């Protein structure tokens, strides 16, 4: 799949947005604003309002209010948030009350705390997988050795129950660690077979797209990019850091779409891995932070030019819809 036609601006005037959470067709979309801890609601009518502020968010560098996720049960809708506080990174959940156009936040419950924080490499993406488990990307918080320390939850992808418990079938009994050897992963997506993939920031050489296997070690800081070193899993694809700095990752109709920050483009990668990745929107909208499947087979992306590292354009930051179509033969 590839973007076609003219992009449609859905919302504008956002401040350092980080995560797009669509609650469903015909429902609202929630957007986290990193620096203020505010959750914005894009209502079904297309207006923006504040749903609430997540208490205790402390913004420093790359930290703040990061990933969002939702869980609907028969009695409650829970909104999950990955956030930075004065002392740590943590995952909380809170009741999402009200209805489309008037959502509000209830009192938070801590799901997981004590993750080391720093001005960079905070990770922050959270998503429920096809197995109903909650996955979280956690950066090394500026200390690369943590990624190879099995006793640390930093530099890892974690897998937990909806209440933060350790699943009985995790790779290591009693541990939330699902995979290790990560520098700063910020993208999670599952393909049509249920296989997990993750996008990861490199340091000076290579950014990565990895096929994530339970218990595998992805090499950081011993290996960056494709190293062909025994004991470590190489990425399926790698990019120069100037071309990517990948954040959000979405899977739509057989294609991964990777939002690039420093690279200021959208990468399209076939799930068959039989063709090379193709870049779209290069230097069109600036830094891209997140990408999610939109309604009717579209793709929604969000820009990130007001976070202190980008060059804001008129109306920034923006939520944008892209129409998709199959790649033409030849």
Q: What are the tokens at 18? A: 């980080």
Question: Per-residue pLDDT for 219 more than 70?
Answer: yes
Q: What is the pLDDT, as a whole number, of residue 273?
A: 74
The alpha carbon dihedral of 246, 2, 32, 89 has a sign of negative
Mean pLDDT of 255-277: 94
Helix (H) or strand (E) holding 48: strand 48-53
Residue of 253, 293, 247 lying closest to 267 (CA atoms): 247
Closest CA to 156 of 205, 131, 129, 123: 123
Average pLDDT over residues 85-93: 98
User: Does the structure show a pLDDT above 80 at 313?
Assistant: yes
Distance CA 252, CA 245 (A): 21
* Banded pLDDT at 46 (limits 50, 70, 90): very high
Burial group, residue 242, by CB count within 10 angstroms (0-12, 13-18, 19+):
exposed
Q: Average the pLDDT over 52-77 and give the result.
A: 97
At residue 17, the pLDDT reads 98
Q: In this predicted model, what pLDDT tens digit does every residue of 2-32 receive, in sequence order?
A: 999 999 999 999 999 999 999 999 999 999 9
pLDDT for the residue numbered 164: 98
Quote the pLDDT of residue 48: 98
Concatenate the DSSP letters of all residues of 51-93 into one string: EEE-TT----TT-SEEEEEEEE-SS-EEEEEEEE-SS-EEEEE
Which pLDDT band holds residue 274 (cuts at 50, 70, 90)? confident
Mean pLDDT of the chain: 97
327, pLDDT greater than 90: no
pLDDT of residue 42: 98
Segment 124-168, tens digit of pLDDT? 999 999 999 999 999 999 999 999 999 999 999 999 999 999 999
pLDDT band at 308 (very low <50, low <70, confident <90, very high): very high
pLDDT higher than threshold 70 for residue 227: yes
Confidence at 254, pLDDT banded by 50, 70, 90: very high
Write down the pLDDT at residue 167: 98
């Amino acid at each position: 799949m590839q973007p076609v036609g003219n992009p449609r601006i859905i919302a504008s005037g956002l401040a350092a947005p980080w995560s797009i959470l669509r609650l469903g067709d015909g429902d609202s979309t929630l957007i986290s604003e990193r620096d203020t801890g505010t959750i914005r609601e894009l209502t079904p009518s297309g207006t923006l309002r504040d749903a609430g502020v997540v208490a205790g968010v402390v913004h420093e560098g790359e930290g703040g209010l990061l990933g969002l996720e939702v869980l609907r049960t028969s009695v409650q809708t829970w909104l999950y948030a990955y956030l930075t506080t004065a002392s740590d990174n943590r995952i909380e959940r809170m009741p999402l009350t009200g209805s489309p156009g008037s959502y509000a936040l209830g009192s938070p419950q801590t799901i997981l705390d004590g993750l080391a924080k720093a001005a960079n490499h905070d990770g922050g993406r959270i998503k429920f997988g096809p197995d109903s488990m909650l996955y979280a990307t956690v950066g090394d918080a500026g200390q690369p050795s943590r990624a190879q320390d099995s006793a640390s939850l930093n530099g890892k992808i974690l897998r937990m129950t909806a209440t933060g418990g350790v699943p009985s079938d995790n790779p290591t009994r009693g541990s939330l660690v699902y995979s290790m050897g990560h520098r700063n992963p910020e993208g999670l997506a599952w393909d049509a077979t249920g296989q997990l993939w993750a996008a990861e920031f490199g340091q000076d050489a290579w950014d990565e797209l990895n096929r994530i296997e339970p218990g595998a070690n992805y090499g950081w800081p011993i290996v960056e990019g494709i190293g062909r070193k025994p004991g470590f899993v190489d990425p399926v694809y790698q990019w120069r850091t100037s071309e990517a700095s990948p954040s959000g990752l979405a899977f739509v109709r057989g294609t991964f779409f990777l939002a690039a920050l420093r690279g200021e483009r959208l990468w399209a990668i076939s799930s068959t891995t039989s063709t090379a990745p193709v870049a779209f929107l290069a230097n069109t909208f600036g830094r891209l932070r997140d990408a999610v499947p939109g309604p009717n087979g579209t793709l929604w992306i969000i820009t990130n030019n007001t976070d202190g590292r980008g060059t804001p354009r008129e109306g920034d930051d923006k939520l944008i819809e892209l129409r998709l179509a199959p790649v033409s033969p030849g």
